[in-house]
Amino acid sequence: MPIRNQIFIGCPWRGILPKYEAALPDVRKKYPISFVIVGRRDTQDTKDLFELIKQRILGSSYSVFDATGGNANVSLEYGFAEAVGAPRALYSCTHRATRAAANQDTAIISDLAGKTRNHYSQSNDLKNLLGVLCRDHPYTKHFEKFLVTKFKRKSKGEKKTARALALKIIHQMDGYLMRSRGEVVYAMTLAGYRTWEIEEMLTALRSAKLISCSVGNASQVTIV
């Protein structure tokens, strides 16, 4: 079962990966979407790496493949996603030097010509593309509806505070299938929040069916 707020990103490690790593922190601050990128640091074995990538694609609600430079690995990953019918999009950088850097590893092994692509040139363009993707994601729409309904009678400042807390709690689950409630609460107290307000938000998020958890520090928190 895919993690409902997780998006997989497949991109060339040279030239392109740093652009995503630079853009994602700002996007995470605004949206309840988790991004997963599999790179060399995860494993050194090529076969194991592709198996891990396939698991991440199948475990994500959506996938973005950056076809800049016609990278062979990205082409292979896109082909797998297409074969299993995973929701996906193609991105491509139009900056000449970036395209050249992305194509230094290997030649393309499958043809992506004719596929519709979302083009970007500068880092801000990429950030905007990812922002639109997150804004239109079903989980984000569910999250926004929850905030409007739950905090409609609160002041502007209280709404802003609630949104920040809800986002941070959800992002505690980034990269995890599940975590103990105690771990999540402890991490949020380290971020400066009081236990009672963390517990109240966990209960609210559960009631809105954005997360699943039960009472007790040992209970498991998951994205639903």
- In the chain, what are the domains? 3-135 (3.40.50.450), 150-223 (1.10.10)
List, for residues 172-183, the tens digit of each pLDDT value: 999 999 999 999
Backbone angles phi, psi at 45, to 5 degrees: -85, 125
Total-model pTM: 0.91
- Within 10 angstroms of residue 180's Cβ, the number of other Cβ atoms is 15
Residue bearing the bigger pLDDT, 98 or 36: 36
pLDDT at 108: 45
Read off the pLDDT of each residue in 91-97 and give the average, rounded to a whole number. 85
pLDDT at 61: 98
Backbone angles phi, psi at 90, to 5 degrees: -105, 130
Number of H helices, E strands in the chain: 9, 8
Q: How confident is the model at residue 102 (pLDDT cuts 50, 70, 90)?
A: low
List, for residues 69-93, the tens digit of each pLDDT value: 888 899 999 999 999 999 999 999 9
